[in-house]
Structure 1
C-alpha cells in the first residue's frame, strides 16, 4: 500500500465477541485479520470481549479495547455492546466499522434503524452457520437483509459460504467477495517424517467436542476396523471439556472398545499442540451438518496439512476448499461409516500415500495470505 493510500485511509474499528484468549476458527480469523490490517498501515482499533483475569494479554500491533462483555449472543451482551456503540457513535460514524462475526452483527441489526448510530462504511464477514440461523428466524432474516443492504462490503472465506449467503440473502450479490483464511502468522513447523518404527500410528482430531465436529463418527469408523488394525492405532482427541451429553457419549463409546486406545488430551495451548501434530500420523475431523450448524471452512485442516499430515474428512460445507481429495487428504461422503473406515484402512496400510498426501499438504497450506485478505476487505473503501 502506498503512503498516500495509507494517509487517505479512514480509521478501522474491528468489533468482535471472539478474540484472544478465546480459541477457534473465528477467533483466529479476527486476530489474524487485525494483525494484517495493522501491517498494511491502517489506523486500527479492535474492540473485543473481556479477557478474564487468568489470561495474560499479548502485545498487539494495534490499539485493543476490552469491553465489559462476556462475548455471548444473549440480550445482556447485546445491550452492553449497543451502549458502547452509541457512546462512541461520533468516532464510528466516519470510520470503517468491520464486524467479522455474528455477535456484533446482532447488535448492529438493531442500531441500524437510527442513522446517527449507523456507520457510513460497514464491512461484514460471514462464516457459515450464522447465515442459516439468521435465515431461519423471520425477524432476524429481515434485519440481516437490511444490514447487508447498508454494508459496503460483504465477504466470506469460501465459495461454499458465498453461495450459501447468496441463496438466502441475494442482497449481497453486488458487494460480495472472498477473503480466505490462512495459517496463523505465529505458526511454525519443524518438518518430520511421521515414520517411526515400533510405535502405534496416531489418528488426531483437534476441535471442540460438539456433534458437528464429528469425533464420534471418527471413533466409530476406527472401531469398525479389524482387531489387528485397531491394536496398531491410538486415537487422540484435543478438545476442552464441555461436560455435554455429546462428550459423555464419545467417552462412553471409547470405553466400550478396549482394544482401541483413545486419549483425551484436553484443550492444549498452541506451543504444546504443535508437538502433538508432529507426533501424529493421520489427521481426522469428520464434520457433519448439524441442524443449522455447518462447517464453512476449517482452519484446523490447514494447520494439520502444514504439519505434513494426510487428512481424512467428510465432504460437507466448505471442507473441500480446505482439503483436496486425493491430493492433501481423503474426503468421504457424510454418514457412510464403511467408506470412512475404508479411508482410514487405506492410509494405515499405505505409508507412501500418507507421505505423499502430507507433502502436498505442506505446500497447499501456505497458498493464502492474511494481508491479501485484509487488503481486499478495506482498500476498495478507500477509493470509493
Structure 2
C-alpha cells in the first residue's frame, strides 16, 4: 500500500511509561497505521512496544529540557525528510514542535488535549505553549470538560471534536475463574472488595478517601478490604509526591493497615489487572477537584465498566463523561466523603442478582468506548482534516 500518506506523531507518552495517556497514544498509533505510513518520535524504549510496521525515533525523556530539545530537532529532521501530510502532537507538551514541523513543510497539524494540557499553570507553559493550541487545524479533546477549557483558552469550537479514550472489552467466559484465583492469591476469600487503580497522587484522591471515607466504610462493612493497584509516579512531569507517606500515616492513625492491600503498578495489559477488576465488587475513583489540576476524563472508570464493575466517583472534571449514574456506577458531589462512603457500601452489600444487573448495564455502557470505535473516529477525523481543508 505505497499510496498511503505519511503521518508524523510527536509524543512523550508511550510505553514503557505506564499510564492512561501512554495507552491512549499507543492506540492512536495503532488506529492510524492501517491507512497511514506512521512515524513516531517518542520516549526511549518505545520502539519495542509499537507495531512492527511503524517507523520510530526515540528520545530521552529526562531531564525535561533535554526531551524538549531532542524532540524539536527530531521533529524538524523527520518533517523535512518525510514531508508528511499530517503532524500530530500526542499532548500539549509537544504541540509547539508539531505545529512548527507541519507549517515548515506545508502539512496539516492536530493535537490531542487532556485537561491538564490546558489547565497547567506553569507560567512559561501558559505563555509559550498554550497559545499554539488555537493555531492547530484541528484539536481533539478527551471530554466535554476539556472542550470547555480549550474554548476558554481561545480555541475555536468549530475546530474541536471530542474523542473519548477507549477500552478493550475483555472476554467474560473466564471471569469467575479469574475472580477466584485473584482472591485466593491474596488470601481475600469472599470479603467485600473495593479496588483502586491509578497513580498515587494528590489529584487522584486516594489519601483523602482513606482518611475521610474508609473508616465509615469499615464501620458499616467490617470485613471489607481495599486493593490498590498503582504507585507514586516516578517519571511524571509534575514530579513525585509524598502521597504514599500520607496514606501510611492515615492508615496507622485509624488502625486500618490490615484493610488495604498494595500491589504496586501494573501495565495495562497485565492479566493481573483484568483479574483484579473481575475480583472486586466496586471500583473507587475519588479524584479531587483542584485548581489547575483536574481529571480530564476517567479511563479507569471505563475499564472497570468493561469488566462489569461499577465505579463510585466524585463528579469533577471530565469524569461525568466516564461514569453513567445508575448504569455504570454513581457520581458523587465533590468532597462529599460521607455520601461517597454510603455509595460504596451499597455496592459492597449488593445481592448477587443486583450484581448481575449492574455487570450487564456497565458492559453495555462500555461498548461505545471500544478501541475499534475510537480508531474509526480518529481515521475519519484525520481524513476530513486533510481533504476538507485541502492539502498544500
What TM-score, normalized to structure 1?
Answer: 0.86
Give per-residue Cα distances to partners, 1:26-78, cap 9 Å, x unaligned.
11110011111113x211112211018xxx92361532313232266x22221
SS at match of 1:200: coil
Please say if residues 324 and 330 of structure 1, whose CA atoms lie closer than 8 Å, have aligned partners that are also in contact.
yes
Work out whether 1:245 is the aligned partner of 2:222. no
What's the C-alpha RMSD, in Å, of the aligned pairs? 2.8
The match for 1:174 is 158
Work out whether 1:219 is the aligned partner of 2:213. no
* TM superposition shift of 1:121: 0.8
* TM superposition shift of 1:18: 0.6
* TM superposition shift of 1:16: 0.7
Return the match for 2:112 from 125, 130, 140.
125
The match for 2:92 is 102
Q: Distance in 1 between matches of 2:231 and 2:374?
A: 27
Please say if residues 78 and 106 of structure 1, whose CA atoms lie closer than 8 Å, have aligned partners that are also in contact.
no
Aligned pair count reads: 366
Q: Distance in 2 between matches of 1:263 and 1:184?
A: 26
Going from structure 1 to structure 2, the CA distance change for 1:45 and 1:326 (only over 3 Å counts) comes to same
SS at match of 2:88: strand
Structure 1 residues without counterparts, runs of 5 or longer: none
Please say if residues 216 and 250 of structure 1, whose CA atoms lie closer than 8 Å, have aligned partners that are also in contact.
yes
SS at match of 1:224: helix
Please say if residues 7 and 86 of structure 2, whose CA atoms lie closer than 8 Å, have aligned partners that are also in contact.
yes
Q: Distance in 2 between matches of 1:76 and 1:204?
A: 37
Q: Distance in 2 between matches of 1:257 and 1:93?
A: 61
Q: Distance in 2 between matches of 1:158 and 1:63?
A: 28
Q: Distance in 2 between matches of 1:149 and 1:340?
A: 38
The match for 2:21 is 26
The match for 1:311 is 311
Going from structure 1 to structure 2, the CA distance change for 1:210 and 1:57 (only over 3 Å counts) comes to same
Q: Within 5 Å, which residues of 2 pair with 1:111-122? A: 111=100, 116=104, 120-122=107-109
Q: Distance in 2 between matches of 1:31 and 1:125?
A: 13
What TM-score, normalized to structure 2?
Answer: 0.84
* TM superposition shift of 1:365: 1.0
Q: Within 5 Å, which residues of 2 pair with 1:1-384? A: 7=3, 10-39=5-34, 41-51=35-45, 57-58=48-49, 60-70=51-61, 74-91=64-81, 93-108=83-98, 111=100, 116=104, 120-133=107-120, 137=123, 140-141=126-127, 143-145=129-131, 147-169=132-154, 171-184=155-168, 188-190=171-173, 192=175, 199-220=190-211, 221-225=213-217, 227=219, 229=221, 231-242=222-233, 244-259=241-256, 261-269=259-267, 270-351=270-351, 352-368=353-369, 369-384=373-388
Please say if residues 205 and 284 of structure 1, whose CA atoms lie closer than 8 Å, have aligned partners that are also in contact.
yes
Q: Distance in 1 between matches of 2:158 and 2:50?
A: 38
* TM superposition shift of 1:222: 1.9
Going from structure 1 to structure 2, the CA distance change for 1:15 and 1:345 (only over 3 Å counts) comes to same
Q: Distance in 2 between matches of 1:297 and 1:356?
A: 25
